[in-house]
Each structure stands twice: as structure tokens, then as C-alpha cells.
Structure 1
Amino acid sequence: MCATESDHDYPFDAAHTAASLLDGAGTVVAWTAAAERLLQRPGSEVCGRPVRDLLAEPSTWGAVLAQRTGPPEEVWDGTAALRRGSGDCLEVTFRVIPLHASAGEHRARFLLLGAPAEQDSKWRQDLAFTQELFLQGRIGLAVFDEHLRLLRTNTQLLPYTGVPDDLRGRRLADFLRAEDARTIDEKLQEVLTSGEPLVGFNATARTLDDPGAGRVMALSAFRLQGPSGQLMGVAAVFNDVTDHERARARLDLLHRATAVLSGSLSLTRGSEDLAAVLAPALGDCVAVDLAEEVFSGSEPAAVRSRPLVLRRTAVAGHAADGLRTGVIHSAQNAPLRAREGRGTLVTGNDAPSAGGQPPRWSEGVPAAHSAMIVPMTARGTLLGQVTVWRTGKRPPLDRHDLSLLEEIATRAALAVDNGRRYTRERLTAVALQRSLLPPATTDTPAVEAASVYLPTDAASGVGGDWFDVFPLSSARVALVVGDVAGHGLHATAMMGRLRSAVRALADLELEPAELLVHLDDLILQLTAEAEGVVSDEGAAQIAEYIGPVAATCLYAVYDPVTRLCVMASAGHPPPAVVVPNGTVRYVELSPGPPLGVGGWPFEMSEAELPPGSVMALYTDGLIERDEGDIDEGMRGLADRLLRADVLGRPLREARHDVVADLPPGRLADDVTLLLARTRLITEDSIVTWQLDADPVVVSDARHLVTRQLSVWDLDELAFTTELIASELVTNAIRYAGGPVRLRLIRAGALTCEVSDPSNSQPRMRRARSSEEGGRGLYLVAQLSHRWGSRYTREGKTVWSEQPLPLQ
């Protein structure tokens, strides 16, 4: 009576169904082999017995019969618990089929079919699931045969324009675009071939009749096989995820736009990055226009009566051929609405123009069929606008696109405002720093100098690099390069203080090592002052902002008479020297600690420089690039000096070639380069006399000076120089003793210097009317352009300079 236990889900499979034949009295007449296997009872044991004897409880026979609700001639189903041959019970589902009585029979017979109740329940569940799955309308369901022809679909499968009502026997290529159908067919064929299910593959579905962008379908599929394993086809589930994908794409675009906007404070670069993100993701052409004032760090005036003057800062997209950057124009959207941060969405039908001319919003992009113009507003100030165009077969822009662009424009406005503020501070710092630096080119009798300063483009602002070239006594020249640690206005201000201090200390004619010691003490004092000024909260915050002061410095003095360059370094890299034979070497020096450490000595180094040599002093920003090796950076600098031909060209021209591969927008630190071509004062421009410490030689000194000036055709200076030499020689003999050396140097100015073995410095004072002396140095000061004294290894030298007459 009951079905065989097999691998088939259908409980009443004709080939394997458990069945028995009953007569009209309910006696088993026939028994199938499937029934024998299921109940473990042979036909000889069952046939001839009432069917009620098969029940686990024969007393429940009435309840079994009570399940029939119709007349006897109708088929009816029910459930019963049967006793198996092994003694256990089995719950079965049965079906009773009345059979017509044959000729000569008085009662009809019955065909009784049965199956395990669990198997029958599973089959009914599967059937209900399949039916409901094809009836639901939220996702598309399709069954393909082994040739990928549609066998069965539900109503939700691609309910779009151009899909036939009856899809049976059709292929996807019959109603989808060839490229879309081919993509889906390839994935379904992989499932058929490999048997591996496909889950969540996104494919675009565009019908042949629909000109739009189509829909994005999430495709899942699995292979179908028959009871014997034969291939029947593939079942596929199509889920429309177009809105989800568009929302995710918009969110991704918003994140990418935010990332590029936060990556730079440069107004131009930020605009270019934003335009590159929006095209072609949001439109075929994008233009970013910024107010003219923001490029100078100013805030655009809030004037509602006139449109904002904009500069086209960036364009992007394949349809941007008619647009170019740098164009000055007026804002195209309404000023009042723009200040609310709201954009305008327009299409070809929204703005018809007279005379067949394209509407103004499509100006520059005549092929556009829709556009969005969204202002960039921050703190109630209109800073610019973003315009997006669409062309070709892309669907027109809609309100969702406008909402997205408004959100992006809001963030872009904050980035522009931050960039404007940074530009203002940076321009202020650069202007301050450049005002504190000397001219870029300097020409002295000792050197021809030219410099380059490139401020960093980092968010922290300009740094504290500085350089200086200034004359010393006796035609010598001082060359200085330094770098204050940190960036910003405090570094620039500290740089100015250090440069002034170097000049003041240089007037004392100190040796380079001693000058750096005094400069180190100055920085320690400034640091102590910054740490001590904490009387109020504001001062404490300023002191914390500035922090400890540290700086590096290289101070060099070149003497064109001896060709010696004496230098000392406080943590600064050594200078490079290009000698006339075309080789480059770095001066060997022992750099001391950076300024601000304190308690360490500085060592001096000497280098003899042939005339025409070019010395390059620089800051570490020139050799420390991309965290590379400093030695490699120094080798690179040597190569650049040779490529720039610093020996054969004016330094004012060659300096730019040395730093040509250092664009300011990519610098991590300020770069300062000082080039100095050394000169030699020839012997015919120098004359030296050794004098005895005897007052009578003062007269001889006056005659020697007068005669030499006549040789040099400087008779105009004979009288003043004679008086200066007389006073200086007299003081040397009177207060220092001998020997006395008198020297004249003709180089840019006329220098008269007197050296003696005394270490006492001369001091100018105001003589009383009753005093006969004390007016010598006063007279020297009045007759000289400048004068002073310096210590030497043998004593001191007092010098005086006078400008040469114009030729």
C-alpha cells in the first residue's frame, strides 16, 4: 500500500509507488513489491486480510474512514499509522481511488496508494514554494533550457519597455541589446558547464526598444538536473538593484569628492581634482569657477546687486573642448538663490532661446541636453560655482543628481574657504619672508651672487629659510645660509631676528665660529623668554605654539685678496664648490650642533678658492627629497650645477636651471640656493707698507698714500685719505707700538687700513674744547663712508672706506 523509499521526491511515482488492490469489503486482493519493501510484509502475509489489520491500532479504523468527506465514488486522501513487519509504526499518507466494477462483479474495487507522510509533506512544501515563487512580483525568476532558451518566467522578469509578453522559447538576445545579452548568457553558460552556482552578479539590462540607461540586475543562477542526473537547464533570479547601485555610486562619488577636496589646500589643484572626479561620473563635462578674490586670500564682497566675477579654474570631460580655464565671467545663476546654496537644474526644454540660439547654460557645450549649476557657499558667502553638463545618449540630469551636486558643492565651498584662508596666511608669510631677505642678486668686488628661494606648498606654510650676502671690511664678503626649524609665521619671524643678529654680530668682525657661539646664545635666550612668558593663558598658548627654537646656519667669509674662504657650520650641510676646471667638490668641514642646543663649540674650516669658482650654499630642502639618501641628494646637486653651466653663464640665469626639477607645488620643505662666483683683487689694486713705530713715519705715510692715489688716478681722494691714514697711523704708534702695517685696497671702494699688534679696540669719544687730542677717530668717521676695526691673529686692524669717484 505504501510507496517505496527512494531518492525521488514525488511520492506517487508510478514506477515506484506502494499500492494495493482492495475489494468492496476492504480486503487486500493484490500487493505490489514497493508495498512489500516499505511495510516489510510479503504479499502472502497481507493478501486476503482486511486492510484494517495493517493499522498500528485497528481501533482507529473509524477515524481513518471519517477522513472521507465526499461520496464513495470520489477520490479521497488521508493519513494513518501502519504497523511494519519489524514491529515499528510508520505514518503514511494514502490516496483511495475507486475503480468501476467489471461485468459480473457486484461491488466496486479500490486502488490504494500510499507514501510516507514525511515524504508527502516535503513534496507538498516544494510544490507550494515553487508555485508561490513564480507568483510573487518582487523579483524576476526564469528557467532556461540547456540551450539557454526561456522555458518559464514570472511577471517580474524585466518588466520594462520592449520586453515581449510571452517569453517562452525566446533567447535574451531577442529583446535585450547584444552586449547585455551576451554578458548574461556567458554567465549562465558557466553555470551550466561547471555546476557552480552564480550569486550576486550585477549586469546591465537594456532592451532593444528602450533608449535609456537600462536597469542594473543582480543575477543569481543554479543548474537544474533531472532524477537521473540529466541536464535540464538553469534557473536564474533577476533582482533589480538599479536604485541601490545608483545610491551607492552617488555615495561613492561623494566620498571620492570629499577625499580630493581634503587632500590639498591649493585652490587650483583642488578644483582640478574635483572636476576630474565629477567627469564622467556625474556628467560629460564639468567646470569649476571660483571668485577672483579668493586667489588673493580675500573674501568676496557680499553684494547682491551685481553678479559675482568668476575665474574658470578647472574643466574636465570629453565634451569640454569649447571650454578653457582662465576665462573671467559672471555667475550665471540667480544671486539670491545662490547664497542659499541651492542649485539650478535645466534641460533643453527648460530654457528655450530666441532666434534658435542655444540657451546660455549650454554655452561652450552646445551638445548638452541638460545641466546643473550649483553655487559654492560658505558662511553665507558665495565663493564660486560648479557646472555639470550631460550630452549624447546619457539620461538627462535629475533632481537626485542635483541634490548630490549640492552636497558636494557645500563641501567644496568649505575646502575653497580653507584654501582661501591658507592662501592669505601663506601670502602674508611669503611677503614677510621675502621682505626680510636681501635682493636675489648681489654684485660685490669679492663675489657675484645670485639666489633662489622656493617656499614650500605644505599645509603648514612657508618655513624659516634665509640667506644673506653683505660686505665686510677690506673688500671681504660674508655669505650666510640658515634654516629655522618649523613652518609658519613664527618661523619666518625667527628667521628675521636671526638674520638681523648675524648682521649685527658681523659688524663686530667676529670669526665665523665665534659668531655662531653668540648666535647660539641668542637662541637660548629667546627660548627661555618664550618658556617664561606664561603669565596668562594667551601667552602660554603662544609659547606652546612656537615651541623650542632650533635652527641651522652656515656662515662663511671670503677674502678676495687671499682667496681664502673661512667658514663654520651649525648643523648645516657643507657648501659645494665648482672649480674652473669643471669639477665639483664639497668643502670638508666639521659641522657643530644646530643652534639652540648650547654648550658645544664650533670649528672653522678654510678653503682656498681659485678665481672664478662658484660656491653653492643651500638648505636641506634642496637635497632631502622623497626621504632619500642625503648623499644621493648631494650627488644630484653636483650634477645639476654642472648641467646648469654655472661656470660659463651669468648666475642670475643659471640659478633657475639648478632648481628646474623642483616645482614649488611638490616641495615638502623650503628650498634656498645661494650661488657665489669668487673674484680676485689683483696685485695692482693692493699696496702694503710696513712702518716703524716712530712718529716721524706719519709724514712718510701721508706721502706714500698721496703718491699711490696719483698712480691710481684717485687724486680726488688724496686729501681725505691722507688725513685718514695720518690719524690711524698716529693712533697705532701712540697706543700700540710697532710694527705698523698700512694697506690701501682699490676694489669697489677705497679701503685704508692700519694694523698693529695691540688687542685694544679704538673708541671714538667727544673731546672737550680744552683738550688738544681725542678728535682723530671722530675725524676718520666724518671723512669715511664707513669705518671700524677687527681683531686679527697678530692684533687688530682699523679700517676706513670711501666710495670711489664716478668715472
Structure 2
Amino acid sequence: MTVDPLDSVLLDALSNGSGVRLYALDDDLRIVRAAASRNGGDGDAGEEAQSPVGRRFSDVYPLGDGPADMERLLAEVVRGQVRVRRNLRGRRALAPDHDGTRIYSLSFHPLGDAATRPARAERIAVLVADVTERECARERAASLDAVRERVGQSLDLAATCEDLVHAVVPGFADIAVVEIVDEVLRGAQAPEGPLGRDTPLRRTAFAGPPDGGPAHPVGDVRGMPHPSPYSLALSDLRPRLLEVGPDSEWLAGDPSRARSIAEYGSHSLIVLPLTLRGTVLGLLSLYRRGGSPAYTQEDVGFATTLAAHTAVSIDNARRYQREHTIASTVQRRLLPPDAESRALVSVEAVHAYLPGRNSGCWFDTIPLSGARTALVVGEVKGHGIQTAAVMGQLRTAVQTLSALDLEPDELMARLNDTARVLDRERNARPRGDEPSEPLEAACLYAVYDPFSRRCTMARSGHPVPVVVTPDGQVDALYVPEGPPLASADRAPFGTLSTELEPGSLLVLYSGSRGLLDKTGTRPVGEVLAAPDRPLRDVCDALVYNFPAPELDGAVVLLARTGSFASEHQATWELAHDLRDPAAARALARERLTAWRLPEDTVQTVELVVSELVTNAVRYGTAPVTLRLIRTASLTCEVHDTSRSAPHLRHAQTVDEGGRGLFIVSQLASSWGTRYTREGKTIWAEIPLPS
């Protein structure tokens, strides 16, 4: 028994249990037979509003880009004699008036070669099924998966909104817009609903096709027009589903949005407030345009789920932004105002602080005794208020230890002990109050002496500094690396001492990699090798050379070294006998008179010099050296080769001696002892008239 090919196709369609329409087309691609199954539920599988027999199939189903596009598809089936399956959007020409744009699944079956069939017989069988609901459900599921996968992965609020619009476009929406309350973007608490009409919202994210113009650019801040679906959704915190077009009355009050909707050809809109626990974060607007089917109530329920997930992610990002804002404020308050504001001797210093997610970077420039300068760059790994607080504690510890005139390796060892105490205190707190991650910190400490022109450095888990010689040569200074601060490693810290020519440029910076290893737009040596260029310009050029993520949350400190002017200092070697105090007073008076200092200052310095030299002659060993240094104040230094530690005594009334250092402490603004490999130096600083 011979089976009609068309009957075989129809039997296959009916056996699938899907509501379909079947059409048989002749050589002219006109419909010669039509049938519909009634056992499905795919939308419009019932009777045609008018009989399609005798009409061209492309006129009945002008899907895709129109009748011409359908004609090309049918010709491809005839020419290739192969089955073709397509999902196309459009509207049936003979559909009831209430039908809108639908999604159809079309299966084209060639019914044999023309040579084997009678003239005017069926040439192609076409099965048409309305799959609008199925495809919309699939698109909703895909969009939900995309939102769950992408939205909330970042703690950047703007990036979270960008992830949302790109997750729903083009699957669920043709155009998506997110507008956030402006204060929320800065980390402030979201306002309670309903939202006032004049509350400014910032357009944070937009995604849509290129053949149109958005009503407002991303970053624009404005209130929502009233009355409109947007203002109503923010008032009662309920979503809105509506058709939009030239006749929409509410568009008259928003000309820019009316123009944009007309340019894009948008016809369907869902407006959803982004709310969480009664607070309003912003607004989500979803549009469909052109041949996309209009939104339904099912779409509104799905979009509400998306909005709820997004609101949680936005609030998490807001909380992080708020914490980051507070931490950045704390960090800025704990940093010195400017490297250039310190009264440094023989060193010119500038810095660049680049705020970012790292809240633990710091720098410092510390004037030391003997016209020396300490340069510090450090970093506490992590972000947030706790990280900034630890950074402030470590910076204060460095300042305190530097006042003791410790060598860099000894200072780093003491700083490591302090960091270990902070780490123990951190772990002793309840876990709900403090993260369980161990404290990780790094630091580099360098001291430059303008008299010896030597720079001595020690580092703890920090990248090596870079030096640029006056002739433009760029080299890394390979300071021995000590263990990271707060680590259990108790290995000793090493130092590097190198002589720097006047005019050398020392570059210190925070980060995980060496400066010469970083990839910039130009070689680092080319950027830094500019000996005559202002130091601020060199610092800015170094920052410009690297992309933003490379130096996000970082600090760069540049210092140009110099020598101390001989006319502002005087050095004498004494004989180490009982005549030294008198000789030292005479030498000091002669030099101070040449510097034209007031008589009362000369007498004060004479007394301080006499007491320091007497102490060195009585308790120290030869040779004894006296040095006077004139800067904004006057520093008296007495050096001897003994390492015995002097200490201040409070002599009794009947004691013959023991008042020397006490007198010095009363006359000087500060004093102390500095130990070197050759012995010790006792110094005192006397203020000068302004």
C-alpha cells in the first residue's frame, strides 16, 4: 500500500501531541491544502479567521523580515530538497485581531522531486506550531540563570547594575535601564519607601540596540517625571505593566523619553522598584520593541524575582561601598598630609596616593637627628575599617621607633614584634567581630644621611626600591628581604647600605611586584630618567604610565637626595682631655657669632655643648668629635667611640654632679642617643629664633 507523503507528514505531526497547523504548497508556493490539530495547547492552533487556501504562504506568514525573507527560505527548501526547521517571530496575516507578535516553529518538508510528481501537485509540506509561551518560558529561565550567575559576583555597585542589564538583554528584554537613588551610590542608607518625587536618581546602567538613542546618558542625575509609571512605582512600590506608544498620555510630561521610545520602537514596558526591607534602592525598567512579543503578567512575576535578587546584590554592594568610604576616610586621616609639607634636610620628597580597594597602604617622611631623613612605605593586606586601623597603628609604631634612632634592621625587628602583638589581639576577638584571616603586612624603611651620602634600608615582605642616578641609569636596590610582618618567622632582618650621589632619585612604592617588572605604556627607565625634571612631574608621569588596576589602592614615594651645605655645619675633633669643654665652648661661640645668632642663643648652646663634651670626656673614649648643624633649629652632636649608654639622673641637693643631661633636657627641645658601629652620638636640638 502506497502512503501519500503529505499524509505521512501529517501523521507524524499528530503523533507528537502538539497543536500544529499543516499546509501543503504547490509549485508556486501557494497553499493548496490546510489542516489543524486540536489536541495541543500552543496558543492559536484553532481555525483560521479566513481560509488560507489559494494564498501565497509568504503572505499568510510574513515572518522574520517579511514576505521576501519567507520566499527565500521556501526557495532554499525546494532547491536543496532538505528538511528545514526555523523559529521565527511575527504575526499571521489571517490571525484574529487580538493576536499580537508571536513566535512560530516552522518545519519545511519537501514532498519529492518535481519530475516524479504530477503538475500542480503538493511540493512542500509546512508544519507551523505556535511556541510563544514555550520560548518565553525558555528565555525567562535562561535570563534567570544569567542573573544568578553574573549579578552579585562583584561588590562594585555600578558593575552589579551593568551585570544585570547585560544578563537580561536580549534574552528577556530588548532594552534595560537601572536607575539608583544617588545617595545609595555613595554608600548612604537607602531611604524608606515611598520615595519622594524630587529624590534624585542616577542612571547607572543601560543596555539596548544601537539603532536609537537613550533618553538620558549613563551618569545623568534627575528626578522621575510625575505622573508617570516610574514615579507611581516608586510611590506605591508596586510593578507596572503597560503598553507604550505615541498615544501614551504620560509621555507628554517627559519629551526626551517619548523621543527615545519612538526611536527604538518600544511597545511594551515593565517598571519595577528595587526594594529591600521597606527601603528603596532604585528602579528597573524593561522594554520590548519591534517584533518582540508584548510582556504578560507571567513576565511581571518573573521580573519581580529578578528585581528581588538584584536588590539584595545592590544592597550588599552598597554596604561594601559604605564600609570602603569610611575606611578610606579613616586611612586618609591616618596618613601624613603631604610628603612635601615636612621640613626635610637635603631631601626633596613627593608622593602619589591612589585610593582603591586596598585600605592599608601608607607612606611617611620622618626628619631624624643629624639632618637625616627616614623614608617609609608600607602596606597592610586587605580592605575595610580594621585594615585602615591596623595601618594607622603600624605607622604610629614606625614614628615612635624612629625617634629612638634605631638602625633600619633593628627598627624592622621591633616593628615585627608590634605586628605580632596586633595579630594576637586580632585573633583574640570574637569571630563575628573580626575576620579570621591572619594579619599580613609589609614595610620598607630607609634612612638617608646627607653627610655620608649613604642610604641604609631594610624591608619586610616589600618589593625592592628603585634608584635613578643623576646620569639617568635606573637600577633596582636588592635589599635583603626579611619575613613579612606578623609572621611566625623570626629570621633576622638584613640591610643594604649604598652611597647615593647628590641628585639621585629614590623610588619607593607599595605593591606585590617590583616596579621594573610592571608592564606600562613606556619602559620605567624612560619615565624616570629625567634628572632635570621637577619631581612632581616625574611622580605624575610614573602614575600615568600604568593602567588603573595596576596601581589601584597604592602609594608611590619619590625622594631626590642632596648634600648638606658646608656653610651650615661645623665639625671639630677634640683632644679628649679636661680642656675639651672650654675649647668646645670657644669653638661654638666663634661659629655661632659668625652665623649671627642672638647672644641668648649663643649662651644656651655654649652650656649644652659644655655638658655634652664633659659627659663624653668623663665617660667616653677617644676620639671625641663635636658637630654643629644649622637648619630650622640648631643641633649639637658629640660623638665618641664608647657604647656605654648615658641616662638622665635627678641629682639630690647635696650631690656634686649628675645634672648634666638634666640641664640639657631643660634647654633643648629634644635630645637623644644614636648608636653606630663606631660608637655613639649624643645630640640635642635647640630652637632658633624664627
TM-score when normalising by structure 1: 0.73
Q: CA deviation at 1:303?
A: 6.5
Alignment of 1:799 onto 2:683: yes
Residues 10 and 22 in structure 2, CA contact (< 8 A), matched pair in contact too: no
The answer to whether residue 356 in structure 2 is matched with residue 470 in structure 1 is no
Structure 1 pair 560–385 and aligned structure 2 pair: CA distance change class (3 A):
same
Alignment of 1:473-552 (within 5 A): 473-528=369-424, 533=428, 539=430, 545-552=435-442
In structure 1, the partner of 2:481 is 591
Q: Give the superposition deviation at 1:655.
A: 2.6
What SS does the corresponding residue of 2:523 show, helix, strand or coil? helix
Q: Which amino acid aligns with 1:793?
A: R
Work out which of the residue numbers 501, 506, 509 in structure 2 matches 1:618: 509
Counterpart residue type for residue 87 of structure 2: N
Report what 2:495 is aligned to. 604
Report 1 or 2 for greater relative contact order, CA contacts < 8 Å, sequence distance ≥ 6.
2
In 2, Cα distance between equivalents of 1:739 and 1:125: 119
Tell me whether 249-258 or 669-678 shows the greater mean CA deviation. Answer: 249-258
Partner of 1:150: 31
Residue type matched to 2:583 in 1? D
Query: In 2, are the aligned partners of 1:291 and 1:308 still within 8 Å (CA)?
Result: no
Q: 1:46-65 residue pairs with structure 2 within 5 A?
A: none
Partner of residue 572, structure 1: 462
Is the Cα–Cα contact under 8 Å of residues 405 and 673 in structure 2 kept in the other structure? yes
- C-alpha distance in 1 between matches for 2:102 and 2:529: 64
CA distance 1:389–1:713, shift in 2 (3 Å) = farther
Native 8 Å contact 1:145 1:151 kept in 2: yes
Bigger shift: residues 343-352 or 732-741: 343-352
Match of 2:86 in 1: 201
Residues 1:140 and 2:26 are matched in the alignment: no
Counterpart in the other structure of 1:270: 160
| Structure 1 position 362, deviation (Å) | 4.4
> Which secondary structure does the structure 2 equivalent of 1:708 belong to?
helix
One-letter code of the match for 2:399? R
What is the CA-CA distance between 1:405 and the residue it aligns to? Answer: 3.6
Are 1:431 and 2:329 an aligned pair?
A: yes
2:128 corresponding residue in structure 1: 238
Tell me what 1:450 maps to.
Answer: 350
Question: 1:654 Cα shift?
Answer: 3.7
| Superposed displacement of residue 258, structure 1 | 4.3
Residues 334/542 of structure 1: CA separation in 2 closer, same or farther (3 Å cut): closer
> Is 1:763 the equivalent of 2:647?
yes
- Quote the offset at 1:449 in angstroms: 1.8
- Residue 304 of structure 1 deviates from its aligned partner by 5.1
Partner of residue 40, structure 2: none
CA 1:636–1:178: 2 relative to 1, 3 Å: closer
Partner of 1:379: 277
Q: Does 1:415 align with 2:299?
A: no
Which residue pairs with 1:115 in the alignment? none
- Give distance in 1, aligned partners of 2:464 and 2:52: 86
Q: Which moves more between the two structures, 487-496 or 700-709?
A: 487-496
Tell me how far apart the structure 2 counterparts of residues 760 and 541 of structure 1 sit (CA, whole Å). Answer: 50
Aligned-partner residue type, residue 430 of structure 2:
A
Aligned to 1:440: 338
For residue 704 of structure 1, the aligned residue among 587, 597, 601 is 587
Deviation digits for residues 351-371 of structure 1 (CA, Å, limit 9, x no counterpart):
636xx9446894674737664
Give the superposition deviation at 1:781.
1.8
TM-score calculated relative to the size of structure 2: 0.84
Separation in 2, partners of 1:610, 1:277: 59
Deviates more, 1:507-516 or 1:767-776: 767-776
Counterparts in 2 of 1:805 and 1:653: CA distance versus 1, 3 Å: farther
Residues 356-367 of structure 1 aligned to structure 2 (within 5 Å) = 357-358=252-253, 362=257, 365=260, 367=262
Cα displacement string for residues 744-775 of structure 1 (whole angstroms, at most 9, x for unaligned residues): 12234322100012112221122222224322
Residues 619-649 of structure 1: per-residue CA shift (max 9 Å, x gap): 22465xxxxxx8632x749834643676444
Post-superposition offset of 1:729: 0.8
Following the alignment from structure 2 to structure 1, what is the Cα–Cα distance between the partners of residues 10 and 177? 55
**Amino acid in structure 2 at the alignment position of 1:373:** V
What is the match of residue 53 of structure 2?
Answer: 167
Q: Please give the residue correspondences for 1:297-446 in structure 2 after superposition, counting only pairs within 5 Å.
A: 297-302=187-192, 306-307=196-197, 309-314=199-204, 316=206, 317=208, 318-322=212-216, 325-329=219-223, 338=234, 341-346=237-242, 347=244, 352=249, 357-358=252-253, 362=257, 365=260, 367=262, 371-388=269-286, 399-442=297-340, 443=342, 444-446=344-346
> Does the alignment pair 1:222 with 2:109?
yes
Q: 1:388 to 1:202 in 2, by over 3 A?
A: closer
The answer as to whether partners of 2:668 and 2:684 remain within 8 angstroms in 1 is yes
2-side partners of 1:167 and 1:123: how far apart?
Answer: 20
Question: Which consecutive residues of structure 1, in runs of 5 or more, have no partner in the other structure?
Answer: 1-8, 11-121, 624-629
Contact 2:58 2:67 in 1 (8 A): yes
User: AA paired with 1:777?
Assistant: L
Deviations 1:52-80 (A, max 9, x none): xxxxxxxxxxxxxxxxxxxxxxxxxxxxx
Q: Structure 1 CA distance, aligned partners of 2:13 and 2:218?
A: 60
Q: Please give the per-residue CA displacement for 1:395-423, whole angstroms capped at 9, x wherever unaligned.
A: 76554554444333222221221111101
SS in 1 for 2:464: coil
Q: Residue type matched to 1:702 in 2?
A: R
Does the C-alpha gap of structure 1 residues 306 and 234 become closer, same or farther in structure 2, counting only changes over 3 Å? closer
Q: Is the 8 A contact 2:107 2:127 kept in 1?
A: yes
Would the aligned equivalents of 1:290 and 1:311 in 2 still touch at CA under 8 Å?
Answer: yes
Deviations 1:570-616 (A, max 9, x none): 23221011222222111133223323232312221122222222211
CA drift of 1:378 comes to 0.5
Shift of 1:273: 4.1
Give, as a single letter, the amino acid of the residue that structure 2 aligns with 1:292.
Answer: D
| Alpha-carbon distance change, 289 to 133 in structure 1, aligned in 2, over 3 angstroms | closer
Q: How far apart, in 2, do the equivalents of 1:528 and 1:417 lie?
A: 33
Distance 2:64 2:178 in 1: 38
- Mapping of 1:750-789 within 5 angstroms? 750-789=634-673
Partner SS, residue 430 of structure 2: helix
Alpha-carbon RMSD = 4.0
Offset of residue 469 of structure 1: 1.4
Pick one of 715, 725, 728 that aligns with 2:612: 728
Q: Give the CA deviation at 1:707.
A: 1.5
**Whole-Å Cα distance in 2 between the matches of residues 128 and 708 of structure 1?**
116
Residue 521 of structure 1 contacts residue 598 of structure 1 at CA under 8 Å; is this kept in 2?
A: no
Contact 2:104 2:131 in 1 (8 A): yes
**What is the rounded CA distance, in whole Å, between the counterparts of 1:132 and 1:583 in structure 2?**
81
Q: Which digits, 9 at most, give the CA deviation of each residue in 1:550-582, with x for residues without a partner?
A: 332221111122211011222322101122222
Corresponding position of 1:680:
563
- For 1:374, what is the secondary structure of its paired residue? strand
> How far 1:217 sits from its partner (Å)?
1.7
3-state DSSP of counterpart to 1:773: coil
Structure 1 CA distance for aligned equivalents of residues 634 and 583 of structure 2: 20
SS of residue matched to 1:320: coil
What is the distance in 2 between the residues matched to 1:369 and 1:192? 37
Change (3 A) 1:370 1:196: closer
Contact 2:64 2:89 in 1 (8 A): no
Distance 1:315 1:424, change over 3 A: closer
State the 1:185 CA deviation. 4.4
Letter in 1 for 2:657: G
Distance in 2 (alpha carbons) for counterparts of 1:359 and 1:294 = 25
The question of whether the paired residues in 2 share the 8 Å contact of 1:285 and 1:319 is answered with no
For each residue in 1:650-701, what CA deviation from the matched residue of structure 2 results, as whole angstroms up to 9, or x when unmatched? 434443332235565x469642211112122122222100011222221221
Q: Distance in 2 between matches of 1:161 and 1:678?
A: 93
Matches within 5 A, 1:643-658: 643=527, 647-658=531-542
Q: Which segments of 5 or more consecutive residues in structure 2 lack a partner in the other structure?
A: 38-42
